[in-house]
Amino acid sequence: MNTRIRTRVPAALAGLVTLASAAGLVTAAGAPAAAATVTCNSPVWKVQFFANTTFGGTPRKTACDAAISENYGSGHPSGVSLPNDNFSVRWSLTRDFGSGGPFTFAAEAQDGIRVYLDGSRKIDLWKDVSSTRKKSVNVTIPKGKHTLRVDFVAWKGKANVKFAYTPRTTASVDKVKPLAPSGASVAYDREAGAATLRWTANKEMDLAGYRVYRRPSLGTTWTKVSGTGLVTKTAFTDRSAPVTGAKFGYEVRAVDKAGNESAGSADVYVTTVDTIGPPAPTGLTVRYDYRMAYLRWDAPPESGVVRWEVWAALDEAGPYHLISQPDDIVDEVNAPENSTRYYRVQAFDRFDNPSPFSAVVADDGVDRTGPWLSPTGVKAVARPGSTDVHWSMHSAFFMDWDTGGSYRLYRSPGHTLDKAALTRVTCAEGSDFWLKGGHCVDLTMDQGAYYTYAVAAVDPSGNESALSAPLTVRTGDQVAPAPLTGVTATPRADGIQLSWDASTADDRDDSSPYWVWTGVPRADGTVEWTGVSTCDPVGGAATTVVCKRAADMPQTRVYAVVADDRWSNRLRPDAPGVMTVTVTDPYVRPAP
C-alpha cells in the first residue's frame, strides 16, 4: 500500500479553531466528532471529509480550515480515518461581501474540483487525471451575504487541491462603490478641543481605507479632515474644528483599492467648545463733560458680546487699570478735569472669552462738548410789543444745570432758521429758566414781522447743545386789518343779508371775528353809526350773514363790515377806506 504525505493540517486539527456543540466543546478527532455541530466563524471554511466520492453519508470528520491549499500526495488527509483512494472533501462558507463587485475564482486540483456560488456552478474540473489542472474565472458577486462551496474528489494516485477567491481591484474593472460605513459615533473632548469618531469596519475584501469629512451643521459643503492619505483604522480624531462654540457634522466614507468612494455614513454631530473671543471693539470715541468722560464704541456685528470692560491709564503705554464694566456700548466714568487720560475697551462673550483691546483714544479733560440733548417743545405767545417763547428740557440736563447750566434763545428774520443771520435774544424781565425748561420774553423784535426762533442748552463751560427744532412766529402789532372788499347787502324776508370778501390779513386766526356796523344816513351825506348788528351766519359761511331789522317799517340803513385780528385790532366803520353799503328795506307788514 502506498503511503500518502499530507503537507498542511487543517486549522481545526492544529488547535486553531473551536468546535461547538450543544454539549460544549468537542474535539475534531475521530468518528464521534462527525456527529457534532461544528461552527466556523466566517470567513473560515467549514471542511467535511467523506470516505467516498459522492459526499454521501455522515462525514468522517468536520473541522474548520483557514484556506484551501492541500497536498495529500498518494495517501489521505492525516488526522482522519479515510482510504488512500476514492475519498472526497467539501469546503463551504457564508460571508458578507459588502458591496460585492468583480472577483476572480482560481482553482487547481488533481483529481476533480467544482466551485459553486450560491449553488450555481462556476468552475467544473471533474475528472480523474494524472496531473494537476488549473482554471480561473471572473465572477461578479452581488452585495451582501453569499455562500461559496468547493467540492474535491480524489479517485486514485496522487491528490492535491487549491482554491482562492480575490477581488479585482483595477480601476478600469471595478466600478462598484463600497457600502457606506455604519455604526458611526463621535465623542468630543472639551479640554483638548478634539472630536474622536469611531465606526464599524466595512465588509469589502478590497477595502483600502476610509476618509473623514466635516461641515457646519447648517452648511452643505463637506471638507475632508482626515488628510491626504487614507485612514486604515476604524477611528479618527479631528483636532482642526474651530473652537468657536459652533455645531459640526461628521461622516465617514469607505474607499476601495480601485479608488471608489462610498456614500457617507449617518451624520454625527458635536458642538465645539468656544475658546475664541469676539473681534476687537471699533469706533471708540470719548468726550469730556464736567468731570465726566463719556465713551462710546461700536459692537462687533453678530459677535455674541455680553459684557465690556473699560480700561484707563495716565500714559499711553500704561499701566492700564479696569475702571468700569458696562453692559452697553455707552459708558460714563469720573475723570479728572484738565488732565489727559487714555482709554481702551475690551469685549467678552458668554463663555467669558476676551476680545483684543480696541484702539487707544485719549482725552485731555477739557470740556468742549455741549449737552447731548437739545430743548424740545418750543412754543410762543406773541403780543403787541413782546413775544414769550417757552420750551422743555430732558432731565438728563440735571448735572449741567446743577453746576451752572443755562439756555440761550436765538432768532433769525423770516420763515426759516438762517444760521448765518442768527441773533441771540436778550431775555427781558419776567423771563425764567429752570431745569426742565424755561421761557424768554423778547422785547426787541419788530411788530408785525416774521421771526424763526430756536433754543440751545448751555453747560457751565459755555458749550451749547444742538439747537432745538425751529419755531416760526408772527409777532404782535397794534395795526388793524385792512378794509374789506366786496361788501353787498340784500333785503330778505327775514332781514338783510350781507356778504363780503374774506380778509387776507396774516395776523388773523380761526377765532378772529368780523364786526357788522349799522348806521343811519344823515342829510349832509354822513352816517350816524348806531352800533353793532346782531347777525346770524348763513349756511356756516364766515363771510355771509343775515342781520335782523331794527323796526317793522320801511327804512334805509347803512352797513359796514370790518375784520378783527388776534390782538383785537379793528377799524372803525368811519375809518378811511372802509366800504359801506346803503339798503332800503321795503318792509311790508304781514297781513293779519
Residue 252 has pLDDT above 80, yes or no: yes
Residues facing residue 529 across a β-bridge: 519
pLDDT of 551 reads 62
324: region left, alpha or beta (phi > 0 left; psi from -120 to 50 alpha)? beta
pLDDT of 105 reads 98
Give Cα separations from 468 to 83, 392, 443 (angstroms): 121, 10, 21
What is the rounded CA–CA span in Å between residue 327 and residue 1? 103
Is residue 12 very low, low, confident or very high in pLDDT (cuts 50, 70, 90)?
A: very low
Is residue 591 very low, low, confident or very high in pLDDT (cuts 50, 70, 90)?
A: low
What is the rounded CA–CA span in Å between residue 158 and residue 129? 9
Is residue 321 very low, low, confident or very high in pLDDT (cuts 50, 70, 90)?
A: very high
H-helix or E-strand spanning residue 399? helix 398-402
Which tens digit of pLDDT belongs to each residue from 213-238? 999 999 999 999 999 999 999 999 99
Closest to 97 (Cα-Cα) out of 139, 136, 67: 139
Residue reference for cell 480700561: 311
Which tens digit of pLDDT belongs to each residue from 501-534? 999 999 998 888 999 999 999 999 899 998 888 8
b/e sequence 200-226, b meaning 16+ C-beta within 10 Å: eebbbbbbbebbbbbbeeeeeebeebb
Residue 4 has pLDDT above 50, yes or no: no
All residues at 6 or more sequence positions from 522 whose CB lies less than 8 Å from its CB, including other chains: 528
Is residue 486 very low, low, confident or very high in pLDDT (cuts 50, 70, 90)?
A: very high
CB 552 within 8 A of CB 563: no
Average confidence score pLDDT of the chain: 89
Question: Grid coordinates representing 480?
Answer: 388793524
pLDDT of 158 reads 94
Residue 442 has pLDDT above 50, yes or no: yes
pLDDT cut 70: percent of the chain above it = 92
Residue 168 has pLDDT above 90, yes or no: yes
Is residue 479 very low, low, confident or very high in pLDDT (cuts 50, 70, 90)?
A: very high
Residue 348 has pLDDT above 50, yes or no: yes
pLDDT of 550 reads 62
Which tens digit of pLDDT belongs to each residue from 255-288? 999 999 999 999 999 999 888 889 999 999 998 8
What is the rounded CA–CA span in Å between residue 141 and residue 328? 69
Which pTM value belongs to this model? 0.52
Long-range contacts of 324-333 (CB under 8 A, 24+ apart): 329/281, 329/296, 329/297, 329/298, 329/299, 330/294, 330/295, 330/296, 331/294, 331/295, 331/296, 332/292, 332/293, 332/294, 332/295, 333/292, 333/293, 333/295
Which tens digit of pLDDT belongs to each residue from 526-567? 999 988 888 888 877 789 999 887 666 668 899 999 999 999
All residues at 6 or more sequence positions from 511 whose CB lies less than 8 Å from its CB, including other chains: 566
pLDDT of 495 reads 86
Closest to 39 (Cα-Cα) out of 59, 60, 56, 22: 22
pLDDT of 13 reads 43
Q: What is the largest CA-CA distance in the chain?
A: 183
Is residue 290 very low, low, confident or very high in pLDDT (cuts 50, 70, 90)?
A: confident
Residue 439 has pLDDT above 80, yes or no: yes
pLDDT cut 90: percent of the chain above it = 75
Residue 5 has pLDDT above 70, yes or no: no
pLDDT of 22 reads 30
Which domains are present in the chain? 20-167 (2.60.120.260), 182-271 (2.60.40.10), 282-363 (2.60.40.10), 376-474 (2.60.40.10), 488-585 (2.60.40.10)
